[in-house]
Structure 1
Amino acid sequence: MSSSVDNPFFARVWMYLSRHETDAIQRLRRENLAGLTGRVLEVGAGTGTNFAFYPPTVTEVVAVEPEQRLAAMAHQAAAEAPVPVTVSGDAVEDFALSLGGAPFDAVVCSMVLCSVEDPNSVVRQLHSLLRPGGELRYLEHVASGGLRAGLQKAADATLWPRLLGNCHTHRHTEQIISGAGFAVSGARREWTMPAWVPLPVAEFAIGRAVKS
């Protein structure tokens, strides 16, 4: 049974945002993918924005994107990617449970762990799909502190998740990753716009997490 998602409003918003990404976000995308090798699983591929940034040392990308309109655009981006990319229209929860074959060398999550229903379960599933020593590369907007934390909590309790594809802005994503058995290294926080801008998704975490 298909686990695809039909969310036309969010798809239109994300298509617009993908076409107008800031230099800061594109720089972080490149950094997040730098040095990857072998077979990679990308979760929540969106329109395929990452595909152009994969290094030639990657031999295969399996990309998961359940929203129908975004998956169609990801298929187009895959055809122009510098490395082989296969796009699946399943939700990651169903894809992970049905997947067989060799483990992945790396998993890439870019602005997606905010939107899954059960991030703890999903990250544990991703851990199980990696070979020992495999990496989870993540670029995620995360829970902030201070006044912005209150803004995030208010956004999550009102219209933000309903309008933006179940996005929850106040998630402690790095704690979730560590709790799934990953060893996080090289992690840091970055602002993708001035800190005074009153948006709940301005602060990002980027890092690598290794499966022992």
Structure 2
Amino acid sequence: MGDLSQDLSRFQHPRFARAYARLSAEAESRATGELRGRLLAGLSGRVVEVGAGNGLNFAHYPAEVREVVAVEPDDVLREFAERASGAAKAPVRVVAGHAGALPVADGDCDAVVLSLVLCSVPDQRAALAEVRRVLRPGGEVRFFEHVRSSRPAVSLLQHAVTPLWRRFTGDCHPNRDTARALRDSGLVVEECERFPFKPLPSSPTLTHILGRARNP
């Protein structure tokens, strides 16, 4: 089980967190809410959500979900998530923790949800190893992430802007090949839809992936 006593100070981005909470709530009324619904449809049992943010996924969990353990390291976002937990059809427990050391026992969940989080974790390989650790054999991973463009010119631009982008977006990396990281982790990717998405008129259009994988 991940160490609950770990220092979470490196994950605190209060200014970005407040801006993200405001902008993501606006994006929810557009296509983002529909994508969250597709992400979570059909889930059941015990679910761990990694990087729950301000809890906008909670209202989309089916009633068949027995419990959602929502892990969030940022203090500001975790407070928003705690408020949002009351709108869920399924029981939600919001806990402090981070992707590299999830406060969940080995094989203790039926599904893991990764929603706009793998762009900002310090180490994707470590985070996905934790996902596999807490997931039972045959358990499912649902993912919705923005990823590096397959267009060479855009990809080069994403690499160039990443150092500055990270400073203002809570350590988000727009140049990560997250689809490949999922496959390299040992998960079996069963579905992976790739599409351009612009959550708000003021947002850049980024390539996103939405799909599911299985823990063999």
Whether TM exceeds 0.5 here: the answer is yes
Query: Do 2:107 and 2:133's aligned partners in 1 also have CA atoms closer than 8 Å?
Result: no
Q: How does 1:1-212 map to 2 (within 5 A)?
A: 1-4=5-8, 5-21=11-27, 23-94=30-101, 96=102, 98-100=103-105, 103-146=108-151, 147-157=153-163, 159-193=164-198, 199=204, 202-212=206-216
Structure 2 counterpart of 1:9, one-letter code = R
Question: Normalization by structure 2: what TM-score?
Answer: 0.89
Structure 1 position 151, deviation (Å): 2.2
Helix, strand or coil at the partner of 2:31 = helix
1:48-101 residue CA offsets vs partner (Å, 9 max, x unmatched): 00000001111100001111011001001112211100001212223x2x5326
**Change over 3 Å in CA distance of 1:89–1:50 after alignment to 2:** same
Structure 1 position 46, deviation (Å): 0.6
Query: Do 1:3 and 1:66's aligned partners in 2 also have CA atoms closer than 8 Å?
Result: no
1:28-63 residue CA offsets vs partner (Å, 9 max, x unmatched): 111010110100000111110000000111110000
Question: Normalization by structure 1: what TM-score?
Answer: 0.91
User: After the TM superposition, which of the residue ranges 123-132 and 16-25 deviates more from structure 2?
Assistant: 16-25
Helix, strand or coil at the partner of 2:136 = strand
Structure 2 distance, partners of 1:82, 1:2, is: 31
Query: Do 1:63 and 1:86's aligned partners in 2 also have CA atoms closer than 8 Å?
Result: yes
Structure 1 position 127, deviation (Å): 0.9
1:108-151 residue CA offsets vs partner (Å, 9 max, x unmatched): 00000010111011101101111111111000000102222122
Report the aligned-residue RMSD: 1.8
Structure 2's unaligned 5+ residue stretches are none
Structure 1 distance, partners of 2:185, 2:6, is: 27
Query: Do 2:54 and 2:84's aligned partners in 1 also have CA atoms closer than 8 Å?
Result: yes
Structure 1 counterpart of 2:37, one-letter code = R
**Change over 3 Å in CA distance of 1:206–1:106 after alignment to 2:** same
Query: Do 1:184 and 1:209's aligned partners in 2 also have CA atoms closer than 8 Å?
Result: yes
Structure 1 position 102, deviation (Å): 5.5
Helix, strand or coil at the partner of 2:191 = strand
Structure 1 position 193, deviation (Å): 2.7
Q: How many residues align?
A: 206
